[in-house]
Amino acid sequence: MLPDKDGSELGSGGSSAESEHPSVSLFRQYLRLRTVHPEPDYDAALKFLDRIANELELPVKKIEVFPGRVVTIMTWEGTNPKLKSILLNSHTDVVPVFPEHWKYDAFRAFKDAEGNIYARGSQDMKCVTIQYIEAIRRLKAEGHTLTRTVHLMFVPDEEVGGHKGMETFVNHQEFHKLNIGFALDEGLANPTDAFTVFYGERNPWWINIHCPGSPGHGSRFVENTAAEKLEFECQIKKWCKEAGDDVTYKFAQKHMDQNMTSTEDSDPWWSAFSSACKEMNMVLEKEIFPAATDSRFIRAVGLPAIGFSPMNRTPILLHDHNEFLNEQVLLRGISIYQKLIPALASVPALPDEK
Ligand SMILES: CSCC[C@H](NC(C)=O)C(=O)O
Ligand SMILES: [Zn+2]
Ligand SMILES: [Zn+2]
């Protein structure tokens, strides 16, 4: 196959760069940025986002939370900017790859004849970033105005625990100034026709055990109750003590907050979200996220957050080899956000906003 000027192949059932939907081409461009740990090229992402802000004619703010760790915020001001805003959050980093297990280069964004785009971050979560951007682009082009302000936030370092990203930023005065009322962040694909929404998360506990002379091992608990966690820590303490006085342990992640976001019909944010989905004939499955995302930091400061990546009919491949997303699923997701964003931005003033 001959590569076209975009670096992609002209496959039989695939589309050339010329006939490809521009949102798909933008997605593939973003996937090619090597924002991969352990040394993500965040400068490339910042440059890309600058270009997007320029195209969307949105003001952009950059806050360097730690050296080299910048949070970018684009703001589409609503007609009533005093009301609480809507946050559309995504992280820019991706997890490493083992190239020997990939069918195609993980940063080439190869599209096969079925329209499946293979790349690290295609599900987690560069798709959602592009879907937010493209939905806003279309809404603006259609001449929409929103009542509530919408912020697009792009954060670094989610994949390494969020300390130099969202964990610190939620306590920054620039975060508080955003006056957020409701947040959307990442979810997971769903292999069925339904879409999964996440209203809570498991608490991550990452622990480094220093045990000179013998190897340690990590444990993963299926259940997540406070009692079990306490028991678990006692066990670690006991093991370390038994192993010797020089054996110590230190938590690299120990999240304790268990805030859940309301999915009651009486909740105005959930009602707006779920009604818009219903209008689009989407079936929603409510779940607790089986791992941890930046939503835990948003919920920990008392804000409601729903984890949602609109990828149905898609195997769950986050962090997996050969992660891919079909271009049609990507495009449908943009249409979904085109309805969801105005619905959320139209939630009438809440009692505490009057
Ligand atoms: C404790 S921070 C975890 C960050 C990341 N979350 C996801 C959803 O990929 C992970 O599980 O590796
Ligand atoms: Zn993610
Ligand atoms: Zn991830």
**Ligand 1 geometric centre to CA of 319 (Å):** 9
Q: Residue 204: is its pLDDT beyond 60?
A: yes
Q: Which of 114-123, 143-152, 219-228, 282-291 has the lowest mean pLDDT?
A: 219-228
Mean pLDDT over each residue of the chain, to the nearest integer: 91
Which neighbouring-strand residues pair with 155? 91
Which sign does the torsion angle of CA 259, 77, 340, 127 carry?
negative
Which neighbouring-strand residues pair with 207? 251
DSSP class of residue 195 equals E
**Ligand 1 geometric centre to CA of 85 (Å):** 26
pLDDT value of residue 253: 87
Which residues line the pocket of ligand 1, CB cutoff 6 A? 124, 158-159, 161, 204, 253, 291-293, 318-319
Q: What are phi and psi of 10, to 5 degrees?
A: -95, 80
Q: Residue 5: is its pLDDT beyond 80?
A: no
Question: What is the C-alpha to C-alpha distance for residues 341 and 280, in angstroms, rounded to an integer?
Answer: 13
pLDDT value of residue 228: 55
Pick the catalytic residue from 9, 134, 157, 158.
158
Structure tokens at 228: 């079990």
pLDDT band at 257 (very low <50, low <70, confident <90, very high): confident
pTM: 0.89
Helix (H, G, I), strand (E, B) or coil at 106: coil
Q: What are phi and psi of 269, to 5 degrees?
A: -70, -50
pLDDT band at 158 (very low <50, low <70, confident <90, very high): very high
Q: What is the DSSP string of 88-134?
A: EEEE--B----GGG-SS-TTT-EE-TT-EEE-TTTTTTHHHHHHHHH
Q: Is residue 41 annotated as a catalytic residue, yes or no?
A: no
Q: Where are the domains of the chain?
A: 22-203+258-353, 205-254
CB-based burial label for 302 (10 Å; 0-12, 13-18, 19+): exposed
pLDDT value of residue 18: 61
Q: Which atom of ligand 1 is nearest to the CA of 204?
A: 1
**What is the CB neighbour count within 10 angstroms for residue 131?**
28
Question: What is the C-alpha to C-alpha distance for residues 105 and 31, in angstroms, rounded to an integer?
Answer: 11
Percent of the chain with pLDDT over 70: 89
Question: What is the C-alpha to C-alpha distance for residues 94 and 41, in angstroms, rounded to an integer?
Answer: 10
Mean of pLDDT values over 177-199? 98
Q: CATH topology for 22-203+258-353?
A: Aminopeptidase (3.40.630)
Whether omega before 215 lies within 30 degrees of 0, making that bond cis, reads no
CB-based burial label for 13 (10 Å; 0-12, 13-18, 19+): exposed
> pLDDT of 282-332, one tens digit each?
999 999 999 999 999 999 999 999 999 999 999 999 999 999 999 999 999
Q: What is the DSSP string of 212-244?
A: TTS-------S---HHHHHHHHHHHHHHHHHH-
pLDDT value of residue 229: 57
> pLDDT of 32-41, one tens digit each?
999 999 999 9
**Ligand 2 geometric centre to CA of 349 (Å):** 31
Q: Which of 51, 116, 67, 121 is nearest to 91 (CA)?
A: 121
- Whole-complex ipTM: 0.96
H-run or E-run covering 66: strand 60-66
